[in-house]
Amino acid sequence: MSLWVYFVLALLLMVFYSTVLLARSNARKDHCTPINTNMTATYFLHTVDHLISQAPWLTTFISVYLLGMFETLSIVLWKRGLLGSPNQSHVEQLIDHLTRHRRLDRVPLAIITGGDSGIGFEISCGLLRAGFQVILASRSATLATEAQKKMHSLTKSNRTSFYVLDLCSYASVHSFVNHIKDTYPRGAIDLLINNAGVMNIPFALTEDAIETQFQTNCLSPMLLSLSLLPWMNPKRSHMLFASSSTLYAASHLDPTLAKTSYTLDGLTHYAHSKMAIALASKILGQKLQAQGSQVLVSSYHPGTVRTNLFSSTTVFNLPFMSFLFDFIMLTPKEGSATPLYLALSPLDGESIPTAQFWSEAAIQPLPTLIRIQSKSPYAKPSLDTFWTNMLALCDVSPLQANEWIKDSFPPVK
C-alpha cells in the first residue's frame, strides 16, 4: 500500500475517534439548530477540517481534494439516509418550514449576488417566502429575468427586482452601489448576501488586473459590502459572505497571489480566495462591533453542492462520475440551509454572534496555523497588514473604509 493510503486510513481513524468524543460532549446540545439534522456529521466535518488545517506540509491542491472526499463521505453516511438519518427530502422540508409562517411588521429588503441560479436562487426563493423584498444582483439581465419568472411561479411573490453587477469589474460594483443609493433611502438594506462565486476556472485577469477567482470571490464582495455599509439598516442588519471549507487547505495568505498566474491548479487560488474573504469578513465584523455598530457580519460554507461551480473541474463532468455526484452531492436547496438560517434567525429573536464562520448551521473556528504574508519585506505580517493589503487591492484606503464603517451608525438626533 502507498504512503497516501496509510495516511488517509490514519486520518479516518483520527476523525472518527474525535467525532465520537465531540458527539458525547455537552456542546452537542448547545449547537443544535432547526436545520442541523445530525450533529455527529457536523462534528465529523469540523474535525476533518481542523486536522487538515494542522498539516501545513500538505499542498493546498491535495488538501482541497481530501476535504472534498471527506465531505462527500459525510453526505453519503449522514445525509442520504444510509445510517438512518434524515434524507434530502426531509432536510428540504425543514428549510421550507424555516422560511414560512412569519408575521413581519414590515417588508425587509435583501440584496443577493448570484441570486439567479444555484444556491442563490434557492436562497432568494426562501427569502421571498419569508416576506422579503429581494434585489437580484446578476451579471446578466436575461438570467435575472428568467429567474424572476421562476421565482414567481414557485413563491407567488412579485417582490423581486434586479440590477446588473459584474464582480469582475470594480467599475460595475461602484455603478451598482450608486444605483442602490439613488433608488433606496439610507439605512434601507436589511440583508446583503454575497453569494456569487467561481471555482477552478482557466486563469484570466479582470479589467482591474486581478486574478478572476480572487476578485469575484473576495475583493469585489468586500468592496460592495464596505460601499453599502451606510445603506444598511443601522438598528439591525446582516452581511453574509459565501466562503468554503476549502479555506482549511490554505496554509498561508499572500496578497500577491491575487495577481499570480496558474496553469492547471486553479484550486489553490480558489482556496486562498475563500480563506481571504472569511478572514476579511471576520475583521470587518470585529471593527463594526468594536465601535458599537448593530450591523452583523458572517461568513459561511454552504456545503458541497451540485451547481455550475464545478463546471470547470473535469472529474465532476465525466459521464459516470457526473451521475454519481448528482446523488452524493447536496442539492442547491440543501445548500441554502445555512445562509437562510443566518438570515432568518434574527427575525425569530435568536441572537446571532457577529464575526464568525459558519458551517452546517454551526459556528466553526477558522484555522489557527494560518500564516499571513505581507507585500512589504519590512512590514511584520499581521491582521492589520492583511486588512490594509486587502483594501489596497480593492482600491480603497483605510481612511475611506473607516468612514464607511462610521457611516453605518444611526444618525444622532
| Active site (catalytic) residues | 270
**Greatest pairwise CA separation for the chain in angstroms:** 72
Residue from 238, 183, 187, 191 nearest 411 by CA: 187
Can you list the pairs that 140-149 forms with residues at least 24 positions away whose Cβ atoms lie under 8 Å?
140/116, 140/164, 143/116, 143/117, 144/116, 146/116, 147/115, 147/116, 147/117, 147/121
Residues in the chain: 413
Q: In what order do the strands lie in the sheet with 295-301?
A: 160-164, 133-138, 109-113, 191-194, 237-242, 295-301, 356-359, 362-363
Q: Which three cell numbers stand for residue 45?
A: 466535518
Strand boundaries in 76-123, DSSP class E: 109-113
Distance CA 247, CA 358 (A): 12
C-alpha cell recorded at residue 60: 493546498
Which phi and psi angles does 345 have, rounded to 5°?
A: -60, -40
259-297 burial: b if 16+ Cβ within 10 Å, else e = eeeeeeebbbbbbbbbbbbbbbbbbbbebbbeeebbbbb
